[in-house]
Every structure is written in structure tokens, then in C-alpha cells.
Amino acid sequence: MYLTQFLLLAAFLFCTGVYGVIARKNAVLVLMSIELILNAVNINLVAFGAFQGFETSIVGQVFSLFVVAVAAAEVGVGLAIVLLIFRNRASIDLTEVDLMKG
């Protein structure tokens, strides 16, 4: 097992997530893509933790758990916003939500 394989997996997931965030119009899919990015980071953390050299270290895994917890909260808030947008405009197309246009 090599660290590089984990990092490549994480990089693939990260790129998929970035593509989803930028390219998808559906707000729910964008949120899901954000999860992909976070999980790519988690994989990196766990992998770096595992291959650090200290056999018994769980620092990476603890870090990942925190990220998962924060991500759960973030998705909760995000989904609530998406829900309210849908109620107001009967659409969750992100290209239409541009009230902040300068």
C-alpha cells in the first residue's frame, strides 16, 4: 500500500467535487459536490495520519471525524436554504439566484 494511491483517489474525488460545484445548476447537486470535496480532504487526512510514521497515531482519523461533524451541520444549513429558495421561487436553479448582482 502506498500513500500515493490514496492521494490520487482523493485528488480524483476533489476534482469531481470542484467540477460539480462549478458546473451543476441544481443546488442539491452542488451541495453533494461540496460533500465530495470534504470527503476527498478526509481521505487525505486519514492517509497522512496513517503514513506519518507513528504506528499507533489516530490524529488523522480524529481530524476527519470533526470534519464529518461540521460537514453534517453545513449540509443541514445548506439544505434548509435550498428548501427556502425552492419555496419562494419554485426552482433551485442556481443561475437564477443572482440577487446579489452588483
Contact set with another protein (CB under 8 A): 18, 21-23, 30, 94-95, 97-102
Radius of gyration of the chain (CA): 17
CB of 8 to another protein, least distance (A): 16
Q: What minimum distance in Å lies between the beta carbon of 102 and another protein?
A: 3
Residue whose C-alpha is closest to residue 40's, from 16, 24, 21, 20: 16
Question: Is the Cβ of residue 22 or residue 77 nearer to another protein in the bound state?
Answer: 22
Q: Is 67 or 94 the residue whose CB approaches another protein more closely?
A: 94
Q: Which of 13, 75, 16, 76 is nearest to 46 (CA)?
A: 13
Nearest Cα to Cα of residue 51 among 62, 41, 59, 40? 59
CB of 58 to another protein, least distance (A): 28
Task: Name the nearest CA neighbour of 14 among 47, 51, 57.
Answer: 47
Closest distance to another protein from the beta carbon of 27 (Å): 9
Our CB check for another protein shows the closer of 55 and 98 to be 98
